[in-house]
Each structure stands twice: as C-alpha cells, then as structure tokens.
Amino acid sequence: MQHANKNCVNKYVVGDDVDVDLYPFLLRYKDGRIERLLRSPFVLASDDPTTNRGVATRDVVVDHVTGVSARLFLPSLAAAMAGNRRLPVVVYIHGGSFCTESAFCRTYHRYATSLAAAAGALVVSVEYRLAPEHPIPAAYDDAWSALRWATSPLTTDPWLAAHADPRRTFLVGDSAGGNIAYHTAVRASLRQDDVTGVEGVVIVQPYFWGAERLPSEASSADGTAVLPVNGVDRLWPFVTAGKAGNEDPRINPTDEEIASLTMTCRRVMVAVAKKDTLRERGVRLFERVRDCYDLTGGGEVTLVESEGEDHGFHLYNPLRATSRSLMESIVQFINRPPAPEKNGGFHLHAWEGKSSSRTTNKTLTRTELVMLGVPSRPFRDVFDYGVDMKQHCSGTICMSAAYGGTSKIGRRGNDATSNMANYGLFKGPVRPNKAYKGPAGATAFPGVHGFTHFF
C-alpha cells in the first residue's frame, strides 16, 4: 500500500501528466499511478502498553479472502480494573475521502489510542480497502466484515474473547468513515441475524452530500473552507469509478434507511464543526434521526457542534480545547447507560430554541445540542501540521505542511503560534431563549449543555 509523506504536499505541482487532481488527498496520473498526498507515516503495533500510553495494540486479519485487517487497541488499566465486567467494543472507521489514510498511520493510531484510553473501550480500527484501486462499495463491505468479526460469539481472538462485551458495540467514524459507519449500522439493522447488534453510532463531521447545493455549501465556495465545494462535488464520482453521481443515496441517505436504523439502534450522535463545508448535511441527518425516533418509539440522539472549527480539526490538533471537549462528549456517549427498553417514559425535546416535555407512551427520547467553545490560547501541533495549513495554490484551495509556506504552526515538541484568530471561550447560555426568565447564566433548554471550561 502506497504511503506518502505529508511533508511532500509543499512540493505539489500540477503537471500535464496528472489525470485526476483531488488535492490535498490524491493525484492520479495518466499512466495509472496513484499518489496519496495526505497520509502520515505508519506506526508499528506493540502489545507492550507502556510504549503507548497504557494501551496495547495488535494487528489482525479480519478476512483472509480480501485481506482486510484491523488494529486492536486494548486499554490495559481499564481491562485490569474491569474484573468480570467486560469492555465496550468500538469499531472505528477512519476518514480520508474514501481514498487515503490508514488505521495504521500515525494520525489514526494516536486518535484510536486516545479513544481507547479515555473511554475504557476495546477499539477495533478497520483497515479497509481504498479507492480508486478498490472502488465503493469495497469500503462498506470491509467495514461490515469487521463488525461481524468483532461481534461474533465464535471469536477466537484472545482479546475479544477475554475482554469484549459485544452487547455494547459502537460504530464510530469521521468524515468518509462517518458515512461508512452510518451505512454499516443501517446494514446491521437489516441483517440482525448476522451481528449481535449495535448499541450506538457516532459520526463525526460525516461525509454526506447531494446534487443540490444547500445554503451553507454555497457560502463555502468562497475559498476559506478546508474542503472546497468543487472538490467535494468531484469526489464521489471518482471513488465509485464513475458509476454514481452526487444524487446517490449512499451520500444522500433516504428516509427509509434512517427509519430502519432507528428501529434497532437506539443511540446516535452526530458531531459537526461550525466552519465545515459538510456541516449542514450533518445537522440535517441529526434532525431526520430525531424525527424518526419521535415516530418509531424513541431513542437518544445528540448533536455536538464545535464553534470556530473546520473539518478534521480534532485529528490534526488533538490537544486543542475543542478537540478535548469533543473527545469527552464521545467518551460520555459510549459510557452512558444503555437506552431503556420500549416500556413507556418521558419525552424530552430540546432543539433550535424550542423546549417541551410531556408524558408519552414512548420510551425515553432525549435530544441534545452540545455546543463546544473554542480555545483562548494557541494550540500545540503534535503532528507537525494543522487545520490552518490552508493557502491558495494556483487558484485551488489546498493545504500546506507545517514546514515552510505561510503557516506559523510550531514544530512538534515546541510551543506553537498560529495565524488563526485568538478566540475567547464560549460562555453563557446556549442559543438563549429571549423569553426565558430563569437564573442568570442558566440555559433555557433542558437537556442542552454548554461547555465553558476546558483546561
């Protein structure tokens, strides 16, 4: 598998021999060569937890026919303290526009390590096949294989057999991985005989799109977003080998799919970034899941929105305050007690300035809007690059590495400075209701939380 160094992106030049330009992710040349630009170096697995912040790692082959594999992350302290109680299982699906990045690369190795340690969960990070060598639906099939493997009651994997609780299985993914996680959960809802079940789904800045431009997507065409609109428009036809356009239901989910998901998966979390080109698609998915829960018997759906941030910020700036807060929200979601059975209860609705509570014959339906603030000090960039490494390259939006260019991001291990605005902390009520007359500083919306302190 080709493994390009991220620092090479500063040398990016479009030549006559380039057939497809999906910068900053991938170039395809006329002779068929593929150059993946956005990928960090590979990291070896180690079953010694002392070398990886208390998390042991091990690589396994999931499917010997396709060669699909995964990296397992076992938090040794959580496993030791659990006793007879088993750990939740997180099947993690990495992002990278369906065509780059890896479960074995430094970016996702470190993120999965942090998730396993913070959540006390056994993480199965899927190394799925990438387009264009393996067009969609290969990635979907690989994620499905990994879910079945991780939840099989006949597993022979020693870590899963000794520590995993398949009844508490979560599908988690970011960007393209968020799309794959969603569809894997839908597939599980339709084929319950093949998997134990999925307790919850977490999709972070998910890649969903459509043929018609939404208002926020039109405003993202001004050249300030990490993901330019014209690049997103061209991505799906490329990763499907020209067999599907942007009207494809795999990137524009149908109501029937969402209804199927909510019938069996009772907990969904959608996380979006305020400046992300894909933000509005994520918010709309949250609303549709919420409406389905209202109609189909209840569940729990949470929207987490990170103010002042763009696509992928939590991966490339993991020590940033908003990244830590997002991680905390995901950890709390995973470790929250299971959603109640469908035996009646209390219905709570809080969204867009509206709040109501009433007794209903449905289960507990909780809808949350979590607003994450932005930090008041520069971030430390531990990966040598960050989300503000954007510059104009010959009229095309691109990302420049931390070395050189106009970016002032500090090198790894040094205090960093940034050209980004020095935002203040988000304070006060979340989307305050003008008619609210309660105590000062309180939120008008029950079930809606605003994080105001991060360090």
- Count the Cβ atoms, other than its own, within 10 Å of residue 248: 16
Q: Which two tokens stand for residue 399?
A: 């990302």
CA 281 vs CA 204, 246, 351: distances in Å: 12, 13, 16
198-223: burial string, b at 16+ Cβ within 10 Å, e else = bbbbbbbbbbbbbeeebebbeebeee
Instruction: Give the Cα separation of 80 and 86 in Å (integer).
Output: 10
Tallying the residues shown for the chain, one arrives at 455
Active site residue 94: no
Q: What is the DSSP string of 71-110?
A: EEEEEHHHHHHHTTSPEEEEEEE--STTTS--TTBHHHHH
Contacts of 101 (CB under 8 A, 6+ apart): 38, 39, 94, 95, 107, 108
Q: Which two tokens stand for residue 440?
A: 């000062």
388-401: burial string, b at 16+ Cβ within 10 Å, e else = bbbeebeeebbbbb
Instruction: Give the Cα separation of 97 and 280 in Å (integer).
Output: 18
Q: What is the DSSP letter of 369?
A: E
Domains of the chain: 49-339+368-372 (3.40.50.1820)
Closest CA to 269 of 178, 337, 202, 186: 202
Instruction: Give the Cα separation of 56 and 304 in Å (integer).
Output: 30
Tokens 């006793």: give the residue: 83
Q: What is the pLDDT of residue 220?
A: 61
Contacts of 156 (CB under 8 A, 6+ apart): none
Contacts of 147 (CB under 8 A, 6+ apart): 91, 169, 171, 184, 188, 195, 198
Average pLDDT of each block of 10 consecutive residues along the chain (455 residues)?
35 69 88 87 94 95 95 93 90 96 96 97 98 97 96 93 94 98 95 81 97 81 77 94 95 94 93 95 96 87 95 93 96 83 34 27 49 44 34 31 28 33 28 38 34 26
Peptide bond into 132 cis (omega under 30): yes
Q: What is the DSSP letter of 423?
A: P
- Count the Cβ atoms, other than its own, within 10 Å of residue 66: 15
Instruction: Give the Cα separation of 19 and 9 in Å (integer).
Output: 18
Q: Which of 109, 134, 183, 311 is catalytic?
A: 311
Q: What is the pLDDT of residue 226?
A: 85
Active site residue 175: yes
Bridging pattern class, strands 396-399 and 365-372: unpaired
Tokens 């018609």: give the residue: 212
Instruction: Give the Cα separation of 98 and 367 in Å (integer).
Output: 30
Q: Which of 276, 310, 381, 384 is catalytic?
A: 276
Active site residue 329: no
Q: What is the pLDDT of residue 358?
A: 25
Closest CA to 293 of 252, 351, 337, 336: 351
Q: What is the pLDDT of residue 25?
A: 86
Q: Which of 69, 125, 175, 260 is catalytic?
A: 175
Q: What is the DSSP string of 100-117?
A: S--TTBHHHHHHHHHHHH
**Beta-bridge partners for 445:** none
